[in-house]
Structure 1
Amino acid sequence: MTQQKPSFEEICQQNERRIHYQIHKLNIRDPHQEYYQEGLFAMWNAYERYEPDKGPMATYFNYMIRNRMIDLMRKENRQQEQLANYIEEQKASHSTAASPETDPPQYLSREFSDLLLSNPALWQQLKSQLTENQWKWVYYAVIDNMPIKEIAIQENTTSEAVKSWGKQVRKKLRTDEFRQLLKQEMNL
Structure 2
Amino acid sequence: MIKNHDFAEVVEEYKRLIYYHIRKLNIIDRNGDFFAEGLYALWQAHDTYDENAGTLSSYINWKIHNALIDKIRKDNRTVEAEERFQDHVIHMQLYQVEDVVLDPYLWKSIRALLTDNQWKWIYYSIIHDFSVDQIAAREGVTRDAVKNWGRHARKRLENSSIFNRKALEKYSRA
* TM-score (normalised: structure 1): 0.52
- Unaligned regions of 5+ residues in structure 2, if any? 111-174
Aligned residue number for residue 108 of structure 2: 158
Matches within 5 A, 1:25-174: 25-99=24-98, 101-102=100-101, 147-149=102-104, 158=108
Amino acid of the residue matched to residue 68 of structure 1? A
Distance 1:79 1:96 in 2: 26
CA deviation vs aligned residue, 1:131-183 (integer Å, no higher than 9, x gap)? xxxxxxxxxxxxxxxx334xx7xxxx8268xxxxxxxxxxxxxxxxxxxxxxx
Distance in 2 (alpha carbons) for counterparts of 1:4 and 1:36: 24
Q: Any conservation in 2 of the 1:148–1:159 contact (CA below 8 Å)?
A: no
Q: Secondary structure at the match of 2:5?
A: coil
Deviation, structure 1 residue 94? 2.2
Question: Tell me, which stretches of 5 or more residues in structure 1 are unaligned?
Answer: 103-146, 161-188
Match of 1:5 in 2: 4
TM (norm. structure 2) is: 0.56
8 Å contact 1:38–1:68 — kept in the other structure? Answer: yes
Equivalenced residue count is 109
Q: Distance in 2 between matches of 1:63 and 1:100?
A: 55
Q: Give the equivalent residue in structure 2 for 1:18.
A: 17
Q: 1:98 & 1:25 partners in 2: Cα distance?
A: 48
Deviations 1:109-133 (A, max 9, x none): xxxxxxxxxxxxxxxxxxxxxxxxx
Deviations 1:11-68 (A, max 9, x none): 1111111100000000000010110011001000000000111001011111101111
Contact 1:42 1:65 in 2 (8 A): yes
RMSD after superposition = 2.4
Identity of matched residues, %: 29
Following superposition, the deviation at residue 5 of structure 1 comes to: 1.6
CA distance in 2, matches of 1:62, 1:97: 53
